[in-house]
Amino acid sequence: MHAMRSLAVALTLSLLPSLAPAQNEAALRQAFEGKLVSVKMAMPGTSRGVEVYPQQQAPVNFRQVADRIKDFGTALKIGDQVMVTKVVVKKDSHIEFQLGGGGFGTFGDDAGSSWISADTESETPREKALKDSIKTAPGPTRRKQLEKELANARTSRERENDRARAEAAQANAAREANLRVKREQGGSRFNIRYKDGIPPEGLTPEGVMAALANYVDFAATGARAATAAVVPAPTTSTTSATSGGGIAQLKKGLTVREVEAMLGPADTAAEETQGTMTVMKRTYTADGMKVTASFVSGVLIDFAITPKA
């Protein structure tokens, strides 16, 4: 009987470490999820986020952060207010402190279609047949005729290859523009990591705030979080129409709504088919200039600014 009781106690104790992270995660979730914070640094638009090592002399490798921003764009800018959308304890390895969705690339995110390669031909059957015919041509006149036909066939093939390359380039530009928008809107995260496992104090709200004190302002947390939006506050790109800087803020990857927030309603709107792509063309007048914009799937892929006639 005594042996059975000892075995039961041992089994209970062996389960405690596995239960503790879940209990602490629940406390962290209750303390932070749904609350507003402000970020003190630019954060990349990827679920890889920013690595924080609180026990190291330099907790953040800012060169790595810069590389991720270069690769994935900036999802959160300095001073942006954003909701804490999820806090996850990953066993004993690290704590994920997710902001505004946790960064593009989380489970369920659609990365869009894969990279499109141009479907080109190196040599058509017609060209091969003409080359064979030239070798056996009965005389110089017929040979010249065949050579001219071969040159025309090559020119036609290259024209089709150029068209295919242009269509693939357009499709890939639209894909990248869509990904850029999704990354900018997908939030980011901090990954709080410890060398020898998360210490008990690291699994408390105070420990998390201490680890992120230099990178997150927690002063905004409070009752407002219950009704806060799960997106960063509007940036200058969406308010520049009232400040006179609309044209200067234009960049590829903006949505139609963002462009028209800067420039106002379009003067003209039309659609045209370019290969397999449907391109929406719109013109705007702003700051005495004419802006001609091209959108694919509602995303700005190209624009030109010219003096108003």
DSSP state of 114: P
Per-residue model confidence (pLDDT) at position 193: 95
Q: Residue 55 to residues 59, 198, 212, 224: CA-CA distances in angstroms?
A: 7, 11, 12, 33
Residue from 69, 24, 61 nearest 45 by CA: 69
Per-residue model confidence (pLDDT) at position 9: 36
Q: Which part of the chain has CATH 3.30.1450.10?
A: 236-307
Per-residue model confidence (pLDDT) at position 160: 85
All residue ranges of the chain with pLDDT < 70 are 1-23, 105-115, 171-185, 220-246, 274-277, 309
User: Does 236-307 carry CATH code 3.30.1450.10?
Assistant: yes
Q: Which two tokens stand for residue 224?
A: 């407002």
